[in-house]
Structure 1
Amino acid sequence: MKLNEIHDNDGATKNRMRVGRGIGSGKGKTAGRGVKGQKARTGVSIKGFEGGQMPLHRRLPKRGFNNLYSTDLNEVNLGRVQQAVDAGRLDASAVVTVESLVTAGIIARPRDGVKLLGVGELTAKLSFEVTRASKSAVEAVEKIGGTVNVAYGAGISTRGKPAAE
């Protein structure tokens, strides 16, 4: 095979329609645009316009709302934390914070903080500093002898909201 012999399969490419090339071409005169009017001109698109009638998207009622105070938390299970400790990515002697979870690769980015969930088994004695924690997670950590400090907004991006002191 030579470079000058390479080509597409038959029928894979199609020549573009050359419009406005005479009445015999089938796409002459108005070039497939119909006749006259705004939409026959180039560069015009009137999306949602219904000829003066109230458009459908304005006739329908608005639904729902965006909560100004909602938080987008990372959910971290105890079993996942234990895997990171076993793999050596998380230091068992240091406090487990949002930043340490990011560097260990447990979460991708800080978002608005971390919620600790009690799924999985934790064997290492750890101290956590998280935004929120479930009751089962707190009980599991304290049963081993660790601590859970629920610090709302500690070192967390608030996405335009005032930081909690």
Structure 2
Amino acid sequence: MGLNTLAPAAGAKHRKKIVGRGESSGHGKTSTRGHKGQKARSGDGKMSWFEGGQMSIVRRTPKRGFSHAMFRKEYEIVNVSSIESKFDAGAEITKESLKKAGIVKKDGLVKILAKGDVKKNFVVKADAFSKTAKEKIEKAGGKAEIVK
């Protein structure tokens, strides 16, 4: 079987209706559009969102309040267990080193969370820390510094 032998299944393709070719064709004169009216005109019909003159959904829905969504800070999350497994004791861990190690994918904000245990001492520099993560890092003899 080759691409040159592919064809649609029998009966799958319909012949296009040919209109406006004289009255004896059965599709002449008004070309199956009926007499007058919006749908008889060229460029007929309404926009897909038109609701028959009814007040549109956009205008019906209430518009109130304010959304802080555009001001939201989205952090990429790193658990202390992944730092523990990828880095040696005494290492200085920054966003760049986390990206190089493959723990962080994007260049955005990084937040360190407390899942897992810390036995090595690190100097961790990130945009945010959970309270417990900071405690765990400092308990193991490391430092948790917030980078501005």
Please say whether Structure 1 and Structure 2 have the same fold, judged by a TM-score greater than 0.5.
Answer: yes
1:64 to partner: Cα distance: 6.2
Name the counterpart of 1:83.
85
Question: Which structure is larger by alpha-carbon Rg, 1 or 2?
Answer: 2
User: Which runs of no fewer than 5 residues in structure 2 stay unpaired?
Assistant: none
1:107-155 Cα deviation digits (max 9, x unpaired): 11022x111110012222111111111111011111110000022xx3x
Match of 1:72 among 49, 74, 77: 74
Task: Give 1:8 deviation, angstroms.
Answer: 6.0
Post-superposition shift, 1:63? 6.4
Give me the CA root mean square deviation. Answer: 3.5
Length-normalised TM-score, structure 1 = 0.65
When residues 54 and 128 of structure 1 are mapped into structure 2, their CA distance, relative to the original with a 3 A threshold, is: same
Q: Distance in 2 between matches of 1:84 and 1:9?
A: 56
Q: CA deviation at 1:37?
A: 2.2
> Does residue 1:98 correspond to 2:95, yes or no?
yes
C-alpha deviation, 1:76, in angstroms: 1.0
Q: TM-score, normalised by structure 2?
A: 0.71
Identity %: 28
Asked if the contact 1:74/1:110 (under 8 Å) is kept, the reply is no
**Who is 2:121 aligned against?**
125
Task: Answer whether contact 1:76 1:115 (CA < 8 A) is retained.
Answer: yes
Structure 2 counterpart of 1:56: 57
Count of residues in Structure 1 that have an aligned counterpart in Structure 2: 141
Conserved in 1, the CA contact under 8 Å of 2:114 and 2:136?
Answer: yes
Measure, in 2, the Cα distance between the counterparts of 1:39 and 1:97. Answer: 68
Deviation at 1:45, TM superposition (A): 5.4
2:84 is paired with a residue whose SS is helix
Structure 1 stretches lacking a partner, 5+ long = 86-90, 155-165
Letter in 1 for 2:102: G
The runs of at least 4 consecutive aligned structure 1 residues that moved more than 3 Å come to 2-11, 21-25, 38-45, 62-66, 91-94
